[in-house]
Structure 1
Amino acid sequence: MAKVCWPYFDPEYENFSNRMNPPRVSVDNASCHDCTLIKIDSVNKPGILLEVVQILTDLDFVITKAYISSDGGWFMDVFHVTDQQGKKITDSKTIDLIEKALGPKSKSTEGVKNWPSKHVGVHSVGDYTAIELIGRDRPGLLSEISAVLANLHFNVFAAEVWTHNRRIACVLYVNDATNQVADDPKRLSLMEEQLNNILRGCDGEKVARTSFSMGSTHMDRRLHQMLFADRDYESYAVAREVDSPPSLRPRITIERCEEKGYSVVSVKCKDRAKLMFDIVCTLTDMQYVVFHATVSSDGPYALQVCYIDIVFCMLIYESCKEEIE
C-alpha cells in the first residue's frame, strides 16, 4: 500500500497571530475631559467583541460611547467609559487590571477569571455545585425552590435569577450541610426530581428543567443562553410600557446594506446598565457577527447601530490553515 503523506499543521498556529501581534491596550485620561478612553487593537477572532464588553461590564464601567471596527483580520475598538458615579477611571490598580484583562497577558478564556462570582460551574467558586433552573415564572416559585433545598439540607451560597415574558432562568450555587461540595448522585437526583416537579407544576406550555452545570461559564452569559434556548421571546406578547412616554419606548429598525453585504440594526431606547452587553449577547446567540458598530448615549436615551451578518467564524482559521497546507 502506498504511503500517504499529509502536510504537517502545527496545532499552535492558531495562536501564532496573537504571539506576533499581541493585543495593545491603551487607557487614555487626557483626550476627553469627562470620561476615560479605552483603546484596543488586536487580531480579530470569534467572540472577541463580546469578551471585551463582558470584561468592561463586569468592572461596573458605564459605556457612554463606543466605536467598533472588526472587519477583516484586525479588531480596533474605542470605548468611552466612566465609573458608576460618572467619573473617570483614575485608580492605578483598576487601570492595571484593565490592561491585564484585555492585554497580551490574557487568554481568550480568561477574560472574566478575576470575577469568580460571575462564573457558573461545578467547583467554579470553591466547593459549590451550580444548578440551572428554567420554567414558567409564578408567585411563590422561589419560596418553593428554597423549601426543597432546605428540606434536603442543601445550603444556598449564591443565586442569580432572571425573568422575562413570564419565564424564569435561575442559577444556584449550593453545598451540603457540612459546607462540602454536593456530589452525592442519589441526593442530587432526588433534588433534581423535586425541583422539576415544582417547575412543571403549572407549566402547561413548555417543559421545565433542572440541570447541573459542568465546566465554567460567565453567569450573565449563561443566563442569556438559557433564555434564548428556551425561546422566551416567543412565550407571550411583550407588554408595552404604557407608563413610559412614546419617546422612551424601544425603537428597532433593520435595514439591508446590499453594497456592503451587511444588515444594519439600529436600536434606540432608554439607556440602562449592561445595555450594550445584552445587545451583543443577543446577536451572538443568534449567530450574528458585529463587523462595525457605534454606540452613544444622550441623557436618558441610547442609540446603538450595529453592522452585522451571519458568518461561520471558523472560516477565518480555516483560511489560515489552507495557506500553509
Structure 2
Amino acid sequence: MDISYKPNIHPEFEELMERIHPPRVSIDNDTFPDLTLVKVDSTNKHGILLEIVQVLTDLDLVILKSYVSSDGGWLMDVFHVTDQKGEKIMDENVIQRIHEGICVSRRVSMPKQLWIGHTALEMTGIDRPGLMSEMSAALSELGCDVSSAMAWTHNNRAACIIYVDDSSKGGPITDPSRVAEVQALLENVVEAHHYNNERRSVRLAAPATCQTHTERRLHQLMAADRDYEECCSCCGSGTDEDDVDQVYRHEGQTKKKCDGTHVKIDKCKENGYSAVTIRCRDRPKLLYDTLCTLTDLHYVVFHGAMSSNEAIAFQEYYVRHENGYTLDSEAERIKVTQCLVAATERRNSHGLRLDVCARNRTGLLSDVTRVFRESGLSITRAEFGTQGDNAVGTFYVKDMSGQKVNPETLEMVSQEIGGSIVVADRSPKSSTEATASDKSTSNAGRTHQFSLGHFLWEQLGRISNNFRPIKGDHLPVNGLKLPCKNGQA
C-alpha cells in the first residue's frame, strides 16, 4: 500500500489560517453569455469542497461544470452555474447568499434541508408499503407535529428523517421519558413490518446546534444500512470519453452505449493519487451526492472535474485517503465503487411525481400517506415541509399492483387533505432524459467537449491564472508533475 507524505497540522493552526485567509468568492457574469462562473479560493481543509457545493445546491443552482484543485494547503474551485430556468445568476439576493454561505459560515441553514431546533426521528429498514403511513399515524396519536420529513428508497431498503415537535408544548421533545415513550412506540411500528433478524433501526435525536445536513444524513443512514451491497458498476469501464461517442448496431438501428453508472478506479503512482472516474446519467445534485460519499468515506479530493454531454455526466477525481493512503486493495476499491454507484442511484425518481399543497394542521402527513396506502399506492421517495400556515410536499408514488395510477385516486387524496395535487411528472425517466438533453443542447455553444485526464490538468492550469492567491507558493498546480490519463507523467 502506497503512503504519501502528509504534514501533521494541528486543528487550531488550521482555524488560525482560515481566520487569516478567509474564503474569497468571485461571481463572474461577463465571461459567458448565459451562465455564471463562481470562483472560490481558500485555505484547504477536509470537507470544505462538500460545504461549498452544499451551499450552491441548497440555493437550487444547477452546476453544469466544475474544476477543483486543492494541493499544497490551498483550494481553488470554479463552478459553471445557472438557475433552475437555465439563466445567469443576476438576483443580488442569491449572489449575497452565495457569499455569506461560503465566506461567512459555509453552513447555510435552508428550511427545507436543515431543521435545527426540532427533534429528529431517523429510521432505516426494509422498504415495505405503508411503513411511512403507519409511522406518521403513530406520531399523530402521540401528539407530535411533523415540521418536515424526507424519505428515500433504494435496493429494497428505506431511510427517512422526520423532524417533529411536541404539539402540547410547541417545541422540541426534550423530556427523557417522553423521548423514550415516542421511540418505543415507533420501534414497535417498524418491527411489525420486519421479520426476525431483519435489519432495522429507529432513533430519536435531540436538537443539535451542528446538525448534519438532512440529505447528507440520509446518505449516511443508507450506507450504514449497507444498501450498497447489491450495487455494481456496469460492465466495462464505460468511463472513457470515446465511450460516449461510440455506437453499436442492433437490428438495423443505431443506439448509444450503456447509460448506467460506470465507476473506474486507477492508480497514479508518480503523484500518489487514485483516479476515480464516474460516468452516469446526469441529474440534479449529482455532484453533491458523490462528494458526500467520498467525504464520508474519508477520502480527500485533490483535483477533479465534472461536466456533462448529451444527458451523460462525467466526473473525475484524484483522491487519497485522509491518512495519506491510496486505494490499493481490491476490497477497498470494490467498496468505494459500490458506494459511489449507490450514491448516484438513491435520488433517482421512480413512479409518478405528485406535488401536494394544503393548509398545515396536526396529522396532515398521516392523512396524506394513509390515503396513498388505502388507494394501493407505495411511496418511493418523499419530501414534506411546512411554510407558515401552509404545508407542501413532493411524493413519488407507484401502484403496488404495477398498474398506472388511477386519476380518481388523486381526486380522493385532494378531497381528503383539503388541498391541491399537481401531477408534476407522468414519466420521470423520460422527462429527465428530455430535460437533460435540452440542457445539453442549449449549452452546446458554450461548453467544450469534456475530456478526462490530461485535459483536466490543462483546464486547471488555465483557470488557476484567474485567481489571485495570497501567496504564490500556496498554488497547488505550479511545480506539480501532473499525471496523464493513463497515470503516466
Query: What interval of TM-score do these two structures reach, taking the shorter chain for normalisation?
Result: 0.7 to 0.9
From 193, 215, 220, give the equivalent of 1:220: 215
- Check conservation: 2:304, 2:318, Cα contact below 8 A: yes
Report the CA distance between 1:276 and its aligned residue.
0.2
Taking structure 1 as the reference length, the TM-score comes to 0.83
> 3-state DSSP class of the match of 2:153?
strand
2: distance between equivalents of 1:239 and 1:50?
24
Matches within 5 A, 1:22-171: 22-103=22-103, 106=104, 110-120=105-115, 124=116, 126=117, 128-171=118-161
Report the CA distance between 1:138 and its aligned residue.
0.5
Question: Is 1:288 equivalent to 2:316 in the alignment?
Answer: no
Question: Is 1:233 equivalent to 2:244 in the alignment?
Answer: no
Question: Is 1:192 equivalent to 2:203 in the alignment?
Answer: no
Distance 1:250 1:205, change over 3 A: farther
Identity of aligned residues (%): 45
Q: Give deviations 1:4-52, integer Å, cap 9, x for gaps.
A: xxxxxx9854322123322211000001122100000101111111111
Report the CA distance between 1:140 and its aligned residue.
0.7
Distance 1:257 1:203, change over 3 A: farther
- Check conservation: 1:136, 1:199, Cα contact below 8 A: no
Distance 1:165 1:18, change over 3 A: same
Q: CA RMSD in A?
A: 2.3
Distance 1:309 1:14, change over 3 A: closer
- Check conservation: 1:112, 1:118, Cα contact below 8 A: no
- Read off the aligned partner of 1:144 and give its amino acid letter: E
2: distance between equivalents of 1:12 and 1:279?
29
Distance 1:168 1:21, change over 3 A: same
Report the CA distance between 1:177 and its aligned residue.
2.7
2: distance between equivalents of 1:138 and 1:245?
35
> 3-state DSSP class of the match of 1:49?
helix
Question: Is 1:300 equivalent to 2:316 in the alignment?
Answer: no
Question: Is 1:174 equivalent to 2:171 in the alignment?
Answer: no
Distance 1:148 1:183, change over 3 A: same
Distance 1:80 1:11, change over 3 A: closer
Distance 1:161 1:190, change over 3 A: same
1: distance between equivalents of 2:11 and 2:275?
37
From 278, 289, 292, give the equivalent of 1:278: 289
The residue aligned with 2:342 is none
1: distance between equivalents of 2:314 and 2:167?
49
- Check conservation: 1:68, 1:78, Cα contact below 8 A: yes
The residue aligned with 1:207 is 199
Distance 1:173 1:150, change over 3 A: same
Taking structure 2 as the reference length, the TM-score comes to 0.56
> 3-state DSSP class of the match of 1:75?
strand
The residue aligned with 2:418 is none
Distance 1:306 1:11, change over 3 A: closer
Task: Name which of structure 1's ranges 269-278 and 211-220 shifts more when overlaid on structure 2.
Answer: 211-220
Q: Give deviations 1:187-230, integer Å, cap 9, x for gaps.
A: 32122112112223314454312112242221111111111122
Q: Give deviations 1:111-146, integer Å, cap 9, x for gaps.
A: 2334143225xxx1x4x3111111111111111111
- Read off the aligned partner of 1:68 and give its amino acid letter: V
Report the CA distance between 1:263 and its aligned residue.
1.0
The residue aligned with 1:323 is none
2: distance between equivalents of 1:204 and 1:15?
48
2: distance between equivalents of 1:295 and 1:88?
19
Q: Give deviations 1:151-175, integer Å, cap 9, x for gaps.
A: 2122212111111111111111112
- Read off the aligned partner of 1:42 and give its amino acid letter: S
Structure 1: runs of 5 or more not aligned: 1-9, 314-325
Task: Name which of structure 1's ranges 111-120 and 272-281 shifts more when overlaid on structure 2.
Answer: 111-120
Question: Is 1:311 equivalent to 2:302 in the alignment?
Answer: no
The residue aligned with 1:318 is none
2: distance between equivalents of 1:135 and 1:203?
11
2: distance between equivalents of 1:67 and 1:181?
41
Structure 2: runs of 5 or more not aligned: 1-9, 235-254, 325-489
2: distance between equivalents of 1:278 and 1:43?
23
- Read off the aligned partner of 1:85 and give its amino acid letter: K
- Read off the aligned partner of 2:224 and give its amino acid letter: A
Distance 1:163 1:238, change over 3 A: farther
2: distance between equivalents of 1:309 and 1:287?
9
Task: Name which of structure 1's ranges 69-78 and 13-22 shifts more when overlaid on structure 2.
Answer: 13-22
